[in-house]
């Protein structure tokens, strides 16, 4: 993948994102918005945006692994959040889970609400899995 930041773009300020990502040949994976639900639809981290963001990334990572992907394959990430004061927690988790050199293009959207009132953040990524790692899911 080619990830770049033109000199006319605003600074990254240590955040893992790029202004442009050119994806290589591979399998494009659109992932449905992931929230802080576990496999039984229990909310993980009620009232704790950082814990919820971690669960969102755990869910995404599991979806990627099922087809040979990894977090660095994410080329675009849309983040929906409710409270602007939660942004530092979301950015902290992003910085822990996405390495700077593999940061995707990114959209942050403050939303009025998510599917249930207990959810504070939702992430919706698009990934490109390289052909040499991709495999069909086994379920």
Give residue-wise pLDDT tens across range 84-96. Answer: 999 999 999 999 9
Give residue-wise pLDDT tens across range 3-45. Answer: 677 788 767 667 666 678 777 789 999 999 999 999 999 999 9
User: In which band, very low, low, confident or very high, does the pLDDT at 61 lie, cut at 50, 70 and 90?
Assistant: very high
Longest CA–CA separation in the chain, Å: 46
Domain limits, the chain: 2-129
| Residue 102, token pair as written in the block | 């593999």
Rounded CA gap, 73 and 127, in Å?
Answer: 5
CATH number for the domain formed by residue range(s) 2-129:
3.30.1330.40
Give residue-wise pLDDT tens across range 94-125. Answer: 999 998 777 898 999 999 999 999 999 999 99
User: In which band, very low, low, confident or very high, does the pLDDT at 134 lie, cut at 50, 70 and 90?
Assistant: very high
Contact (Cβ atoms closer than 8 angstroms) between residue 97 and residue 57: yes
Contact (Cβ atoms closer than 8 angstroms) between residue 105 and residue 76: yes
Q: Nearest-CA neighbor of 69 among 24, 120, 132, 25?
A: 132
Strand-pair partners of 38: none
Rounded CA gap, 131 and 121, in Å?
Answer: 31
């Amino acid at each position: 993948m080619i990830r770049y930041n033109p000199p006319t773009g605003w600074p990254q300020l240590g955040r893992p994102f790029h202004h442009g990502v050119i994806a290589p040949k591979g399998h494009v994976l659109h992932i449905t918005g992931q929230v802080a639900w576990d496999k039984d639809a229990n909310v993980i981290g009620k009232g704790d945006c950082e814990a919820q963001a971690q669960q969102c990334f755990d869910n995404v990572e599991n979806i990627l692994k099922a087809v040979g992907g990894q977090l660095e394959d994410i080329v675009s990430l849309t983040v929906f959040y409710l409270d602007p004061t939660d942004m530092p927690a979301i950015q902290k988790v992003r910085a822990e889970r996405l390495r700077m050199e593999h940061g995707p293009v990114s959209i942050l959207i403050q939303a009025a609400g998510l599917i249930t009132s207990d959810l504070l953040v939702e992430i919706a990524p698009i990934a490109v899995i390289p052909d040499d790692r991709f495999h069909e899911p086994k379920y």
